[in-house]
Amino acid sequence: MDFSIDKEAFERLERVRQLGRTHIRPLGIEADRLGRPVPPEHDYFKLLLANGLGRTRWVPPEQAAQRESKPGSAKSDGKPTVGASRIGIHIAEEQAYWDRGVSTATPGPGMSEPALISMGTADQKQRFLGPFVNPDKPRWGSFAMTEPGAGSDVSAIRTSCVKDGAHWMLNGEKSFAGNASRADWILVWATVDASLGRAGHRAFLVEKGMPGLGNFQIEKKMGIKGYESTSFTLQDCRVPAANLLGGEGHYASRAGFKGAMKTFNAIRPGIAANAVGIGRAALDEALAFAREHERLHDPRVRDRLERIARKLRMARLLTLRAAWLADHELPNMVESSMCKALAPTVAYEAASLGMELLGAVGGRGDHLIEKLFRDVKAMDIVEGTGQIQRIVMARNLVNLPNDTAGA
């Protein structure tokens, strides 16, 4: 397995590192202090666009045809460039190293992108990902599965969708959807019949301004405050049938739910990479504090710092392995779950050790390690909690089928 990245990717990583120092970390600290996300009109987002960020990984057919001749490049079906997941992992780690909240505020189609690429019709990819190819301004997409009564058990969603001629009527409540109030569109998961469980699921591209979509409320969070996690409602929201992700044929089997699962398998290594980034930041801060306060002569302190460094490296390698499998279009469900289960616990250990070293300084709440300690918790929760990942892996170990999810 080759985890190396090419020169172009290395340069992208270097640009992220520079932005991290100058913008990502300072904005993250400011958002944390003010208790609000970076506003969508902030110049930082325009700067990201100028740096080639905030774009989709989807390749439009006309560009794909041009690139196809180059070895290791995109295919005409619009799938991203080979190696894209691995590069994404390095970028996700580096961004979260500087601030995970601000990195999640980065414009782009976000969590919905893998579902749109794998399930979307050609028309939907053009309409909803097309504007992210060379965006004229910062644009966001959002993903809304979770509801006040449905988190880990996604089969419990109650947002209803009823066919109404050439439209669908959506009614329900969603919570914790990243970047939702600033998004051009939200991929909303609903059900035709809650008693059918996952077989009843349908996904819709609900566009900004559609009548019935509203009541956006930015949630209060303990950490990662740089981006918005938002609840909203759908009240008799009429969505054109053309916005049903994948078209009706897609849902004749259990493909709808499988589409959501594919999305999570694609995203989980990114969350694991975020956790490694937060853990690395906590380790660096802990080392700096221990050095400054002359604690490094104590072998117990050195031993604990080394243990964290070792575990973070293990978590990174496992994460890269999951991404490598995705790059080669090989099944990666177990590896995705493994890195998602492992990395947040290691990052938590790093932040926790940092807090212990800080002692009373940590209790004051104005040291970066204290912020990282609050930021890291969400890495265990989002996109399938640690417990859920362990259930998935244990079922797989004994050859039981796996339908467990969690956005």
Ligand X SMILES: Cc1cc2nc3c(=O)[nH]c(=O)nc-3n(C[C@H](O)[C@H](O)[C@H](O)COP(=O)(O)OP(=O)(O)OC[C@H]3O[C@@H](n4cnc5c(N)ncnc54)[C@H](O)[C@@H]3O)c2cc1C
Binding range to ligand X, per CB under 6 A, among 61-69, 143-151, 259-267, 283-291: 143-151
Cβ nearer to ligand X, comparing 19 with 177: 177
Location of structure tokens 């666009």: 49
Q: What is the rounded CA–CA span in Å between residue 109 and residue 92?
A: 15
68 as an active site residue: the answer is no
Q: Per rule CB under 6 A, is residue 152 in the interface with ligand X?
A: yes
Out of 93, 94, 113, 383, pick the active-site residue. 383
Q: What residues contact 267, with CB distance under 8 A and at least 6 apart?
A: 111, 114, 383
Return the axis-axis angle of helices 333-358 and 386-397, rounded to nearest 10°: 140
Which 8-state DSSP code applies to residue 35?
T
Q: Per rule CB under 6 A, is residue 271 in the interface with ligand X?
A: no
Q: Per rule CB under 6 A, is residue 226 in the interface with ligand X?
A: no
Q: Per rule CB under 6 A, is residue 144 in the interface with ligand X?
A: yes
Q: What is the rounded CA–CA span in Å between residue 202 and residue 141?
A: 18
Q: Per rule CB under 6 A, is residue 218 in the interface with ligand X?
A: no
Ramachandran region of residue 270, left (φ > 0), alpha (ψ -120 to 50) or beta?
A: alpha
3-state secondary structure of 162: strand
Location of structure tokens 């009564």: 149
Q: What is the rounded CA–CA span in Å between residue 40 and residue 37?
A: 9
Binding-site member from 111, 157, 161, 273 for ligand X (CB under 6 A): 111
Q: Per rule CB under 6 A, is residue 114 in the interface with ligand X?
A: no
Q: Per rule CB under 6 A, is residue 339 in the interface with ligand X?
A: no
Cβ nearer to ligand X, comparing 358 with 378: 378
Location of structure tokens 């990717």: 9
Binding-site member from 181, 191, 229, 231 for ligand X (CB under 6 A): 229
CB-side neighbour CA atoms (13 Å) of 143: 18
Residues paired with residue 217 on neighbouring β-strands, in sequence order? 231
Cβ nearer to ligand X, comparing 215 with 387: 387
Q: Per rule CB under 6 A, is residue 406 in the interface with ligand X?
A: yes
Q: Per rule CB under 6 A, is residue 388 in the interface with ligand X?
A: yes
Binding-site member from 143, 168, 185, 264 for ligand X (CB under 6 A): 143
Q: Per rule CB under 6 A, is residue 178 in the interface with ligand X?
A: yes
Binding-site member from 381, 393, 395, 396 for ligand X (CB under 6 A): 381
Binding range to ligand X, per CB under 6 A, among 32-40, 78-86, 114-122, 140-148: 140-148
Residues 323 and 86 sit within 8 Å (Cβ to Cβ): yes
Length of the chain as a residue count: 407
Residues 397 and 337 sit within 8 Å (Cβ to Cβ): no
What's the closest the beta carbon of residue 281 comes to ligand X, in angstroms? 18
Q: How many residues line the site for ligand X (CB under 6 A)?
A: 22
Q: Per rule CB under 6 A, is residue 176 in the interface with ligand X?
A: yes
Residues 99 and 226 sit within 8 Å (Cβ to Cβ): yes
Give catalytic residue positions: 383
Contact residues toward ligand X (CB under 6 A) are 111, 143-146, 151-152, 176-178, 221, 224, 229, 378, 381-382, 385, 387-388, 391, 406-407
